[in-house]
Amino acid sequence: MAKNVSFKCTCPQSVGRVRVFQNAGDNNPLEVLLFLQSGTRTARLDPGAYLAIIDALGAPNTAFAIELSGGGEMKALGVTLPFDGRLSRNRKVVVA
């Protein structure tokens, strides 16, 4: 049964996107969550393991963080955006 998996973005000076892929080799995401400001958005996911690609665009040298606030497990991402304000990282999301 699908679960609500909540992603919390702390990104007051950036735009964040989380793309959730069913398989590591998939080109098209199962879910896309776009954060135009800080907040929490929820994806409906069946139990299993997923690949999450997290992108950010924002002011250089500002903090950007995304964590899973409920419904599954993921290593939190908390970084300072580099000189060009761009970022793309991968995370494994496990929904029990």
Partner 1 sequence: MSLRLRVCSQVLAGALAAPCALIAAEPCDGAASACRQLTGRMLSETRAPANVGDTSASGYDIVLEGTSEEKTATASATWTSHDSTETYQLKLTGPLNRMTKEAVPFTLAGLPGNGSAEFTYQHILLAHSRDAEAQELLCELADRGLEDCGDNAFLDEARRPTVRDLRNEYSQASAQRKAVLCRIVGKRLCFTHDFESVQMRDAYFAMTNAPKSLALWGLTAGVSRSTFTYLTAVDLDAQEESHSNWKLGAHVGLYRPTTGYLRAGVAHLDTYRPAEATASEICQAVDGAEATRCREIVIGAPTNVRSTIASLEWRYFLPGGKVAISPSISRDLENRVTALILPVYFLGSEGGLTGGARIGWESEKEAITFAIFVGAALKVVD
Residues that bind partner 1 (CB under 8 A): 4, 6, 9-10, 12-15, 17, 19, 21, 24-29, 31-44, 51, 53, 55, 57-63, 79, 81-82, 84-92
Query: How far is 41 from 35, CA to CA, in rounded Å?
Result: 8
Query: How far is 77 from 79, CA to CA, in rounded Å?
Result: 7
DSSP state at residue 62: -
> Nearest approach, Cβ of 4 to partner 1 (angstroms)?
7
Nearer to partner 1, 40 or 47 (CB): 40
Structure tokens at 23: 């398989």
**C-alpha atoms less than 13 angstroms from C-alpha of 10 in its C-beta half-sphere:** 12
Nearer to partner 1, 34 or 47 (CB): 34
> Nearest approach, Cβ of 85 to partner 1 (angstroms)?
3
> Nearest approach, Cβ of 96 to partner 1 (angstroms)?
18
> Nearest approach, Cβ of 47 to partner 1 (angstroms)?
17
Closest residue by Cα to residue 36 from 62, 54, 9:
9
